[in-house]
Structure 1
Amino acid sequence: MRRGFTLIEALLAIGILIVLIGIVAVALTRGLQTKHSQSVYVELQQNLRTAMQQITQDLRSASRLGLWNDPASGCSAAGDPCSSRDRLAILVSKGYYTAVAEPPGSSYNNSVETGVCDASGFDDGDLVLISDGTNSDLVEITQRQLLRDPTQPCSSPTTASGGTPPNRDLIQHNNDRISGTWQPNTYAFKVQLVTYELRPDPEDAARTVLYRRTGLGATAGNYSGIVAFDVDTLRLSYGIPLDPSAASSSIQQLRFYDSLSAAASALGTAYTDDPRGSGIFVGSLVRAVRVYLAGTTPAPLTAGGGPGRYEITETVDLRLN
């Protein structure tokens, strides 16, 4: 009887074992690659969904004006607060407003202070929207003066003979001069200006990130920063009623425009894309904003394949009343 294995049999067994080990190794490697690819793609999905949730939350917190636009800025450099095809500027309500105490019909030119009924809810450095519902100014408070006697009604100055002195507070905005004619029912709203735009990835300039910037000046404000990595497309459109003069409480069919400037051009000379301009600011007419986000994974999901791509779209109704 033969005992043990011959040399040929031993070599054959070793060869089979090596093949089996190779098969197992390939299977494990592919499994790990698949798991990693799935993880990377899921992370991309989560990033874009979180970003959309943040934009939606800001839009639904919009103040009376809702959107902001500064065409004089050029709307192309980082931080320009505009509502266009590829960037979005929102005025988020900070939960406080007061009536403006200025005589309706009186003109003001390069004014650096505004009378209000109660400035106690403001602080130095706050951003304030001064709006009559049609046209607006955005100013930063440099100083507040609490002058009003709270036991007496708020009143604005009068030029009438024998008139009583005003009973009001003042907010100074020395860096923001405003001009125009005071209208009835003008209010001062405490707001935060939020601008969304794409910026180069700080780690890879060939890629872009979704950036959320707060504030009006050259320096970004608190809570500015990257919202999501690997976002390569931010596309926006703005829904305005087919009848722009319709009451805001009525149900209207909307037409969507790529930017506020496009809306103003389409609606005619009575409308403007500049909240400080003459005419009706189209930003005050927007009832919904359609937001489209898309992104790709940093690397292909499979060997020889392409990167994963994820897209998400949401239409957000504005709560402006």
Structure 2
Amino acid sequence: MRKARGFTLIEVLIALAVLITVMTIAYNGLIQSLRTQSDQEAVTNSQAKLRRVMEVITQDLRSAIFGGIINQPYTPTAQAVSIGLIDGGAGYPVVNKQDYYADILSPATTASALGINPGDQLLMVNGAQSIVLPVSGVAQNGQPSQWRLSHATCRNPLAFAPTGTLVFRIRAMGIRYDPSQNTLYTREGSTEQPMAFGITNFRIDYIYSSSGGTLRTWNFSSGAFPGMTFTDAGTTYALQRLQVVMEARENSRGRAITRTYTGQVELLNNGTYAMGTVVSCS
């Protein structure tokens, strides 16, 4: 009879080497699979957050009264924008305008029926210019259907108030980005609150168009926000849309995964009224 032969040392070592190789491949595959899964989760989280924030921003911008940009609560920059949101009712005709008050026509017989109160904000539009006025007082003017709206803290610098000048009650709201905190803020009146955290970059592009269709993006290194229109080399450009670019970063197993999201908003005007140049209080 032949005696049974066991494994030689070399065979055992070869078997161990093969086993170690197989286990290493399996382990590396598992690590790569976990890394890919983690990266995908980070990408999904970043994109979902950016999409939600962008939806809120673009919805607000689409609601801007007359498709215009105003100058409060934030001065428009590449990282901040302000708009007026209509706050009920149609415009009231202005029949008399002085430095610190404006008389308007309204069929309302009581202040509560008028719906304008101290602390409200008004947008006065005369076709060429606009201004945001803080209301300090509301009183009947002693004449049928006339009300006097005082704005004591804001001298009205509009050059003229022709027939057709209107005031609208609005809510002035703004969005700004603080790069030092990677945080977006929103503000109405004196109340500012965080809108989104973990935003690693944020930019607003103000895109203008000429009557011939030439597009220009305003470069803030050339100067402050020019308003709804600007003229360069004899060509007038009107603000047509805003492009918002946001970036968020998520950690994935010790690595940073960055995603960028871009949204565009056409600034729509009903064609009846134009904000023109929004002037500041003097």
Q: TM-score, normalised by structure 1?
A: 0.64
| Distance change >3 Å, CA 254–CA 171, structure 1 → 2 | farther
| Distance change >3 Å, CA 256–CA 132, structure 1 → 2 | same
Matched residue of 1:295: which SS?
strand
Partner of 2:187 in structure 1? 214
Q: 2:230 aligns with which of 252, 261, 264?
A: 264
Q: 2:152 aligns with which of 134, 153, 174?
A: 174
Q: Percent identity?
A: 19
Partner of 2:268 in structure 1? 318
Are residues 1:102 and 2:95 paired?
yes
Q: 1:81 aligns with which of 55, 75, 79?
A: 75
C-alpha displacement at 1:61, in angstroms?
A: 0.9
| Structure 1 unaligned regions, length at least 5 | 71-78, 148-156, 158-163, 203-207, 243-251, 272-281
C-alpha displacement at 1:90, in angstroms?
A: 1.7
Q: 1:26 aligns with which of 25, 28, 31?
A: 28
306-315 or 38-47: which moved more? 306-315
Q: 2:135 aligns with which of 115, 137, 141?
A: 141
Counterpart AA for 2:191: A
Are residues 1:61 and 2:26 paired?
no
Partner of 2:121 in structure 1? 127
Task: Name the CA distance, whole Å, in 2 between partners of 1:291 and 1:130.
Answer: 27
Matched residue of 2:53: which SS?
helix
C-alpha displacement at 1:52, in angstroms?
A: 2.9
Residues 106-147 of structure 1 show CA distances to partners (whole Å, capped at 9, x for unaligned) of: x622x05654525623344322212123212212234434x4
Counterpart AA for 1:290: L
Paired residues of 2:198 and 2:248 also in contact (CA < 8 A): no
Q: 1:236 aligns with which of 205, 218, 234?
A: 205
C-alpha displacement at 1:232, in angstroms?
A: 1.1
Are residues 1:186 and 2:138 paired?
no
Paired residues of 1:238 and 1:290 also in contact (CA < 8 A): yes
Matched residue of 1:89: which SS?
strand
Task: Name the CA distance, whole Å, in 2 between partners of 1:121 and 1:134.
Answer: 26
Partner of 1:253 in structure 2? 213
How many residue pairs match? The answer is: 256
Paired residues of 2:38 and 2:252 also in contact (CA < 8 A): no
Q: TM-score, normalised by structure 2?
A: 0.71
Counterpart AA for 1:264: F
Are residues 1:289 and 2:250 paired?
no
Counterpart AA for 2:91: T
Task: Name the CA distance, whole Å, in 1 between partners of 2:195 and 2:70.
Answer: 21
Tell me how large the CA RMSD over aligned residues is. 3.7
| Distance change >3 Å, CA 165–CA 90, structure 1 → 2 | closer
C-alpha displacement at 1:289, in angstroms?
A: 1.2
C-alpha displacement at 1:293, in angstroms?
A: 0.5
Residues 224-247 of structure 1 show CA distances to partners (whole Å, capped at 9, x for unaligned) of: 4224633414131232442xxxxx
Task: Name the CA distance, whole Å, in 2 between partners of 1:101 and 1:5.
Answer: 105
Matched residue of 1:261: which SS?
coil
Matched residue of 2:41: which SS?
helix
C-alpha displacement at 1:95, in angstroms?
A: 3.5
